[in-house]
């Protein structure tokens, strides 16, 4: 009996780990026809990655669920260094602050990957009926290069196996998480939160394994370190396994070590461990278990490493403090691979994201963050291109923006890892500070260094723009807290700038009590409405996002007049439009004024952004929360030119403009 079926989809995502789910989020937000498959039976529940950088939390805020992470996670604000003391003991050598008060409302937080996947999955469901198809394995890939220039074609053919009850082959692609057997032994309802219970039961499988042939316009390979997609495309990887082999355990520690609930590095003659406090009383330990010949490229025999061996190593390194545990929720052993794929796209039709592009040591907690940010970057671009609203050539910016970061990540890891495993104590604190200093902005995600492109208009020589000195195109909007003009409530910009799929024009209106400034604001709004000389309105000029938004461009106003001295209705109507069902758009006018009840809302947004409080400025924020363009308040024409390079214009008849 032939069970093979054929189907087509606009976007196929292979792999539902952190990077695949972030890409899928955008498919859900834009409502595009997409599928996401994964060879595993269920999502991840325990262990795996657990470090969230503050920048990732900023993105989660724009997606609407950072509060769930804050509620469940454990925040780390400092790192402690322990070294051998004079009497064979270990002593605390340094306490290093690992947060910057002014940079972000969020701090580095620890929470297991399974919970992060839960939150993204819930968010996807909130916006569409896209769901992960599990126990589905991608088996073969064909790509027709000749079709690559036609955005409406389906150049990709993937054969997948939908596993049935009859299939006894274990799913492939799980080598790196080789602690999963350990996890399975303890996986039960009692150590999961109730909203994960439904996912615990493996899904009902068809009686017989089925083969499906899926034709797709775009493919995103988010299939992890051993990426199947990358191998099908014959994309080489550079780098190798390192000689560092680590045990990783998530346990409830029984110990008198004073920093057991603080991030710490402990070095002594027996080795170096990393202590990472986690949610629900857990602590994660990274423990070196074996050193291969330097430069070894073969994978080592992990079956020799047991939980008991890791426990004994921990006890030796923490001595004379005590260490033991009764509860271990997850453990694994792995050999760190430092590798980077030579490219992250094929013709801008097939893309690789996350661990499929870069692998490195997990000790700095960057892998999941970088992977999610890859998925976030590629997802909105593909979804908006499929919707017909984004010019397909903009897809080139995925590789030009993310690949250099993958290279930086590897560079960072190569500098960091040796310091971590090097046992010479004296150098530690200063070396760590040096490396932390050099990579701080990058590691925390404050700077992403996106270069000039159709999406990012830089000033000549990468200089600052005088009218918005700290709004740097290609970087994030530095988060600030603002007051909603209509109700006076406060909100961080990370939430105000919701990742709903639209480009956002920030009208930094300045002080509208000033008559000259009011005049300028009115000139600007005539420009936005298409009533000025050029007769073009950037708000109605581009194709809609079908089923979601009439315009892919939204407007948000932030002014500096004292909250009590101007009225919502003082602002021109185009900045606070009226909807016959929902009424006035009260969420569109915000105020940079100090607020008595909320000390974070201190009226310093313009100062932090380097913008004149009277004259204001104009800024375009991309759907993924990065700054694309900055200009003076009156620069509507230039702003529109910038968007013309990105978005597809409606033709005079309202149809697709073929002569782009």
Shortest distance, position 177 Cβ to ligand FAD, whole Å: 6
Which of the stretches 24-32, 45-53, 428-436, 643-651 binds ligand FAD when contact is defined by CB under 6 A? Answer: 45-53
Q: Is 50 tagged catalytic? A: yes
* 334 touches ligand FAD (CB under 6 A): yes
Q: What is the DSSP string of 237-253?
A: EEEEEEEEEEEEEEEEE
Measure CA of the first residue to CA of the last residue in the chain; give whole Å: 49
Question: Would you say 340 or 528 has its CB closer to ligand FAD?
Answer: 340
Which of the stretches 31-39, 401-409, 440-448, 567-575 binds ligand FAD when contact is defined by CB under 6 A? Answer: 31-39
Among 332, 397, 494, 625, binds ligand FAD (CB under 6 A): 332
Spatial CA neighbour of 30 closest among 483, 631, 549: 549
Shortest distance, position 16 Cβ to ligand FAD, whole Å: 6
Question: Would you say 187 or 529 has its CB closer to ligand FAD?
Answer: 187
Shortest distance, position 48 Cβ to ligand FAD, whole Å: 5
Q: Is 199 tagged catalytic? A: no
Q: Angle, to 10 degrees, between the axis of helix 18-30 and the axis of helix 113-127?
A: 10
CA-to-CA distance for 400 and 450, rounded, in angstroms? Answer: 8
3-state secondary structure of 275: strand
Question: Would you say 263 or 505 has its CB closer to ligand FAD?
Answer: 263
Both tokens of residue 400? 């030009």
The answer to whether the bond into 320 is cis (omega within 30° of 0) is yes
* 362 touches ligand FAD (CB under 6 A): yes
Which of the stretches 12-20, 541-549, 612-620, 633-641 binds ligand FAD when contact is defined by CB under 6 A? Answer: 12-20
Q: Cβ(506)–Cβ(621) under 8 Å?
A: yes
* 79 touches ligand FAD (CB under 6 A): no
Question: Would you say 173 or 552 has its CB closer to ligand FAD?
Answer: 173
Question: Would you say 13 or 472 has its CB closer to ligand FAD?
Answer: 13
CB atoms within 10 A of CB 89: 12
Among 13, 124, 248, 394, binds ligand FAD (CB under 6 A): 248
Among 354, 392, 552, 623, binds ligand FAD (CB under 6 A): 354
Total chain residues near ligand FAD (CB under 6 A) = 40
CA-to-CA distance for 119 and 64, rounded, in angstroms? Answer: 10
CA-to-CA distance for 331 and 310, rounded, in angstroms? Answer: 10
Among 50, 401, 593, 632, binds ligand FAD (CB under 6 A): 50
Spatial CA neighbour of 381 closest among 407, 403, 401, 358: 401
Question: Would you say 14 or 558 has its CB closer to ligand FAD?
Answer: 14
CA distances from 160 to 11, 227, 420 (A): 15, 15, 42
Among 109, 369, 377, 561, binds ligand FAD (CB under 6 A): 369
Shortest distance, position 156 Cβ to ligand FAD, whole Å: 14
What is the Cα gyration radius of the chain? 26
* 39 touches ligand FAD (CB under 6 A): yes
Both tokens of residue 316? 């030796």
* 37 touches ligand FAD (CB under 6 A): yes
Q: Cβ(315)–Cβ(324) under 8 Å?
A: yes
Among 138, 545, 611, 633, binds ligand FAD (CB under 6 A): 138
Phi, psi for residue 507 in degrees, rounded to 5? -90, 100
Q: Cβ(202)–Cβ(187) under 8 Å?
A: no
CA distances from 346 to 173, 231, 300 (A): 21, 12, 33
CA angle 19, 25, 29 (to 5 degrees): 155
Shortest distance, position 406 Cβ to ligand FAD, whole Å: 12
Residue 187 DSSP class: -
CB atoms within 10 A of CB 597: 8
* 337 touches ligand FAD (CB under 6 A): no
Shortest distance, position 515 Cβ to ligand FAD, whole Å: 52
Which of the stretches 149-157, 216-224, 257-265, 567-575 binds ligand FAD when contact is defined by CB under 6 A? Answer: 216-224
CA-to-CA distance for 451 and 300, rounded, in angstroms? Answer: 40
Question: Would you say 250 or 511 has its CB closer to ligand FAD?
Answer: 250
CA distances from 351 to 131, 229, 237, 320, 341 (A): 21, 9, 15, 51, 12
CA-to-CA distance for 643 and 553, rounded, in angstroms? Answer: 9
Kindly state the helix (H) or strand (E) to which residue 522 belongs, with its residue range.
helix 515-528
Q: Is 280 tagged catalytic? A: no
Q: Is 362 tagged catalytic? A: yes
Of residues 157 through 186, those in contact with ligand FAD by CB under 6 A are: 172-174, 176-177
Query: Catalytic one among 55, 110, 115, 278?
Result: 278
* 34 touches ligand FAD (CB under 6 A): no
Shortest distance, position 44 Cβ to ligand FAD, whole Å: 7
Question: Would you say 352 or 497 has its CB closer to ligand FAD?
Answer: 352
CA-to-CA distance for 254 and 251, rounded, in angstroms? Answer: 9
* 223 touches ligand FAD (CB under 6 A): yes
* 445 touches ligand FAD (CB under 6 A): no
DSSP lists the bridge partners of residue 553 as: 503
Which of the stretches 1-9, 34-42, 202-210, 519-527 binds ligand FAD when contact is defined by CB under 6 A? Answer: 34-42
Phi, psi for residue 134 in degrees, rounded to 5? -100, 165
Query: Catalytic one among 362, 392, 552, 572?
Result: 362
* 59 touches ligand FAD (CB under 6 A): no
Query: Catalytic one among 50, 61, 554, 624?
Result: 50
CA-to-CA distance for 47 and 456, rounded, in angstroms? Answer: 38
Among 10, 11, 19, 180, binds ligand FAD (CB under 6 A): 19
* 18 touches ligand FAD (CB under 6 A): yes
**Catalytic residue numbers?**
50, 278, 286, 362
Binding site for ligand FAD (CB under 6 A): 14-20, 37-40, 48-51, 113, 137-138, 172-174, 176-177, 222-224, 228, 248, 332, 334, 354-356, 362, 365-369, 371
């Amino acid at each position: 009996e032939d069970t093979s079926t054929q189907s087509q989809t606009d976007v196929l995502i292979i792999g539902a780990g952190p990077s695949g789910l972030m890409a899928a989020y955008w498919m859900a937000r834009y409502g595009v026809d997409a599928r996401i498959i994964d060879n595993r039976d269920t999502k991840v529940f325990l262990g795996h990655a657990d470090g969230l950088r503050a920048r990732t939390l900023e993105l989660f805020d724009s997606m609407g669920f950072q509060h769930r992470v804050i509620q469940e996670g454990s925040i780390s604000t400092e790192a402690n260094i322990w070294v051998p003391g004079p009497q064979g003991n270990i002593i605390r050598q340094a306490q290093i602050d690992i947060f910057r008060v002014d940079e972000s409302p969020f701090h580095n937080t620890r929470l297991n990957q399974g919970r992060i996947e839960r939150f993204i999955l819930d968010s996807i469901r909130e916006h569409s009926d896209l769901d992960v198809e599990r126990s589905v394995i991608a088996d073969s890939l064909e790509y027709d290069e000749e079709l690559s220039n036609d955005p409406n074609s389906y150049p990709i053919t993937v054969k997948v196996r939908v596993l049935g009850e009859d299939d006894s082959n274990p799913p492939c692609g799980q080598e790196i998480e080789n602690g999963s057997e350990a996890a399975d032994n303890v996986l039960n309802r009692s150590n999961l939160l109730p909203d994960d219970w439904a996912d615990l039961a493996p899904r009902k499988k068809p009686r017989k394994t089925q083969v499906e042939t899926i034709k797709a316009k775009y493919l995103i390979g988010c299939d992890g370190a051993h990426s199947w997609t990358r191998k099908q495309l014959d994309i080489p990887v550079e780098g190798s396994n390192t000689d560092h082999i680590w045990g990783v355990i998530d346990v409830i520690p029984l110990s008198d070590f004073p920093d057991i609930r603080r991030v710490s590095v402990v070095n002594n003659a027996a080795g170096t461990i990393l202590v990472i406090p986690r949610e629900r009383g857990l602590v994660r330990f990274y423990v070196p278990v074996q050193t291969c010949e330097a430069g070894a490229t073969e994978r080592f025999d992990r079956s020799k490493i047991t939980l008991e061996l890791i426990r004994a190593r921990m006890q030796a390194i923490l001595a004379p403090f005590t260490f033991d545990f009764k509860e271990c929720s997850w453990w694994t052993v792995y050999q760190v691979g430092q590798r980077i794929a030579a490219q992250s796209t094929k013709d801008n039709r097939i893309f690789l994201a996350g661990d499929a592009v870069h692998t490195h040591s997990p000790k700095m907690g960057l892998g999941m963050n970088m992977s999610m940010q890859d998925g976030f970057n590629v997802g909105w671009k593909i979804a908006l291109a499929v919707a017909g609203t984004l010019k397909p050539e903009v897809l080139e910016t995925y590789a030009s923006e993310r690949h250099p970061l993958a290279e930086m990540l590897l560079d960072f890891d190569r500098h960091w890892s040796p310091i971590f495993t090097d046992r010479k104590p004296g150098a530690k604190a200063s070396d760590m500070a040096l490396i932390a200093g050099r990579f701080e902005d990058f590691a925390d995600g404050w700077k992403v260094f996106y270069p000039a492109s159709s999406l990012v208009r830089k000033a000549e020589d990468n200089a600052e723009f005088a009218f918005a000195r700290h709004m740097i195109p290609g970087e994030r909007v530095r988060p600030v807290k603002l007051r909603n003009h209509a109700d006076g409530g406060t909100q961080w910009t990370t939430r105000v700038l919701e990742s709903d799929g639209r480009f956002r024009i920030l009208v930094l209106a300045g002080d509208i009590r000033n008559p000259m400034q009011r005049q300028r604001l009115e000139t600007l709004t005539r420009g936005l409405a298409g009533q000025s000389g050029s007769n073009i309105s950037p708000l109605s000029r581009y194709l809609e996002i079908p089923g979601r938004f009439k315009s892919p461009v939204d407007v948000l106003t932030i002014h500096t007049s004292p909250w009590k001295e101007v009225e919502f209705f003082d602002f021109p109507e185009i900045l606070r439009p009226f909807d016959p069902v929902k009424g006035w758009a009260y969420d569109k006018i915000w105020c940079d004024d100090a607020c008595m009840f909320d000390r974070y809302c201190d009226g310093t947004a313009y100062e932090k952004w380097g913008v004149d409080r009277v004259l204001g400025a104009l800024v375009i924020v991309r759907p993924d929360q990065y700054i694309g363009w900055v200009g003076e308040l009156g620069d509507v024409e230039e702003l529109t030119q910038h968007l013309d390079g990105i978005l597809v214009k409606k033709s005079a008849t309202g149809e697709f403009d073929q002569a782009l």
